[in-house]
Structure 1
């Protein structure tokens, strides 16, 4: 039986919180800093879900996508004025950071 690592447990908890959160209505169809907000959410969600399903591992392509999403979020977060919008994307940012950091450490 495989033991769950600390990053996997943290991501699983944040992921469940994220799945329960409604998508910010004001950001449907919105583009900020040249990024489609719904697609950004979907890209990160796909990478996080895959990482959890693969026992804490991502292929190089998805890891690259996730790192690009982190860079996008670094530009977008300061632009979010509504607290619910900001909280939603801050959680995605935390998820992406933990997954990308944990995945990088596991491949070194």
Structure 2
């Protein structure tokens, strides 16, 4: 799973944040902040298990991206970008759950 997360992270880093999403809020979620929070937690998980605070943040932000995905317009590859973000977060959460057992 760690290899999958590394590959997804590399793909994510090659793609710019969708320009039309800057300054946007969807269902009460600031899209730039959502991206930054999730990416920061995923990056931390690449270095080792997440601490309890980051794990909790990632779970909350994962639920948020699930909530907003249906409302994202597919301009500038925004849907694919946020689906990959969701997948990375889910893998990072699973890695954390696996390491905690």
Under TM normalisation by the shorter chain, which class is it?
Answer: over 0.9
Shift of 1:81: 2.1
Partner of 1:97: 90
Structure 2: distance between partners of 1:23 and 1:46: 14
Q: Which runs of 5+ in 1 are unaligned?
A: 1-6
The structure that has the greater radius of gyration is: 1
Aligned to 1:40: 34
TM-score by length of 1: 0.89
Tell me which stretches of 4 or more aligned residues in structure 1 moved more than 4 Å. none
Which of 76, 81, 87 is 1:88 aligned to?
81
Q: Give the aligned partner of residue 3 of structure 1.
A: none
Identify which of 4, 18, 28 aligns with 1:24. Answer: 18
Query: CA separation in 2, counterparts of 1:51 and 1:70?
Result: 14
Paired residue secondary structure (1:98) = helix
In structure 2, the gaps of 5 or more residues are: none
2-structure distance, mates of 1:81, 1:36: 15
Instruction: State the match for 1:71 in structure 2.
Output: 63
TM-score, normalised to structure 2's length?
0.95
Aligned positions, number:
100
